[in-house]
Amino acid sequence: MMIGQLVLMMAVLAPALFAAAFLLARHLHRRQYLGEQLSAVTRQHIDLFQGGQLSEAALESAKTRFRALLERGEVDAVEASLRPGMHYVIQVRALAEIGTDDAGRILERQLQRRLTEDQIEQSWYWIDLATSLRALNREQSLPHLLRCAETAGELPLGHFFAAETVCFLGFAGYLRQPEGALGRAALRVLHRALEGLRSGVPPQVFAEARLGEMIEHLWDHRLEKIDPLVVRVFAEALRLLRRAPHAETALAEEASEQEAFQWQMSRLAVLEAGMVDFLEEAPQQLTAALARAKRSEQPDYLKALIDLRADTGTALLALMSSSRFPHADLAIEVLTYSRDPRVAPWLRDWAIRQVPLLRRAQRRRRATPPLRRSLPIQVPYQAILRALRGHPSRETEAFLLLATRDWDPTYRAAAVSSLGWWEPLRRQQVLACLQEGRHDPSPEVRQQARAALARIGERQALQWFRQALTSEDLQRVHEALQVVAVEGLFFLWPDLDRLADADDLEIAHHARETLERMSEDLHRQTL
């Protein structure tokens, strides 16, 4: 069964599409914040995901026209007619149903095109292509999909593109070449697909793609040298193993699919103890290898360290201090989890040298960010503000309080978002700052202030989230669940427990995922 068909089936059974809600919530909120409108193509695909149908007349018309052109050898004419817009999905589907080699090659070449600057819309186009190529059973399309995945996988909805790709019959073969370019791409796609199973990709994909067997093969043939992509796959596999009971519940009415899922998951269960030991030793090896890695490879090492919430000690500070480190944002995110007392002063000093904090705090606050960045791209001020949430001290708190007065809401929101992660040391000042943030001209800052107040147990903020979690508007419930998970609102745990038993299957599943994420975060904090 195609991913699109599975998601379509889910949409018919549920009043709102959990997958779209889960993956799009943050991007839609950002668009509303900027006053932007969703494109017609995005609205079309949301309708399709919720059970809508393509026009049969339009599909047959496109097939007739394309078939005639292909029979006359006018391949260029067919390609020229493939333009972005609401007809694109119809044209791609028509070529898939024609099913000739020429049609397949046309679809493959489309993967090389960037049809729009709208990231969400471009995601839909690439998902349309991946779905259609898989319908053609074109194993020779895999290299094209893997090359495209470097970009497509990082876009919104990239989980669905990855899920289509891993279901190709020949995909596992590329995992046997982990040091080649396509093998590296395959590992990234596998990791992205596994992530997607926590973010709305149907659990049937795990069995259909035989992902348990793929991970088992990776484990049995892992290289002696530490591989950050393999580390990320194993870390994600363990997260899925903990969530297996929830997926089995979702498949309860489909005995054959549930059995296939359990069989694949059993392959992971056998490896669990070994993977846990492997991942406990990985941070030290990753940190040592990072300094020797090529610059193009360093992001993979840093992302693996982030996944593991690794404490890199002074090693990363030394690396960042020794030269112009090209991946500062990622490296600073890793430092969020460091327990070295030198990290916070180092981050604050770096920001103070690069950013005129007092002067920026004296300007009138704006409701929306400027069209151009207010700081050079090489100044990772936003990343520093977010990383400081992991380093409680009076000095850090004072630094963040000053940053909450920045005129640019991008940095103001980042500073507010890092308050409330520990019991305030300057309680009256922090509470006054967050109460002021409730009335900030920026909606993003207001939301971050509300979340920070809820983190420290302020009753009014907690009541706001409780009302959102019990709203009759299911989209609002999904958005609230996403915020609760991301912002670590542990005071709402009892409310999530109740939602985990909700009659609405999608709400219940999302609540369980939120509880799993918060449980993982709580476990890391107590280590």
Look up residue 375 and give its two tokens.
């700081």
Domains located in the chain, CATH noted? 3-202 (no CATH), 228-339 (no CATH), 340-526 (1.25.10)
Whole-number Å distance between alpha carbons of 51 and 42: 14
pLDDT, residue 317, reads 86
Q: Do residues 150 and 16 touch, judged by C-beta distance below 8 A?
A: no
Is residue 10 pLDDT above 60, yes or no? no
Is residue 28 pLDDT above 90, yes or no? no
pLDDT, mean of residues 242-255: 90
Element (H, E) at 326: none
Give the pLDDT band of residue 323 (cuts 50, 70, 90).
low
Whole-number Å distance between alpha carbons of 514 and 497: 10
Q: Do residues 87 and 58 touch, judged by C-beta distance below 8 A?
A: yes
pLDDT, residue 1, reads 43
Angle ∠(440,444,448) on CA atoms, nearest 5: 85
- As a whole number, the mean pLDDT across the chain is 90
Least confident of 90-94, 239-243, 247-251, 272-276: 247-251
Is residue 13 pLDDT above 60, yes or no? no
pLDDT, residue 74, reads 94
Is residue 9 pLDDT above 60, yes or no? no
Which position has the higher pLDDT, 46 or 336?
Answer: 336
* HSE-up of residue 430 (Cα within 13 Å, Cβ side): 26
pLDDT, residue 19, reads 43
Could you give the 3-state DSSP secondary structure of residue 393? coil
Neighbours of 467 (CB within 10 A): 11
- The pLDDT tens digits for 99-134 are 999 999 999 999 999 998 888 899 999 999 999 999
464 contact partners, CB below 8 Å, separation of at least 6? 450, 454
pLDDT, residue 462, reads 98
- The pLDDT tens digits for 485-498 are 999 999 999 999 99
Whole-number Å distance between alpha carbons of 455 and 23: 24
- The pLDDT tens digits for 450-464 are 999 999 999 999 999
- The pLDDT tens digits for 252-280 are 888 999 999 999 999 999 999 999 999 99
- The pLDDT tens digits for 273-285 are 999 999 999 999 9
Least confident of 34-43, 227-236, 304-313, 452-461: 34-43
First to last CA, the chain: 42
Return left, alpha or beta for 137; rule: phi > 0 is left, psi -120 to 50 is alpha, else beta.
left
- The pLDDT tens digits for 409-443 are 999 999 999 999 999 999 999 999 999 999 999 99
pLDDT, residue 37, reads 66
Give the pLDDT band of residue 60 (cuts 50, 70, 90).
very high
Is residue 324 pLDDT above 90, yes or no? no
Whole-number Å distance between alpha carbons of 281 and 432: 44
Whole-number Å distance between alpha carbons of 19 and 8: 11
Element (H, E) at 382: helix 381-387
Give the pLDDT band of residue 289 (cuts 50, 70, 90).
very high
Quick check: pTM over 0.85? yes
Is residue 35 pLDDT above 50, yes or no? no
pLDDT, residue 355, reads 97
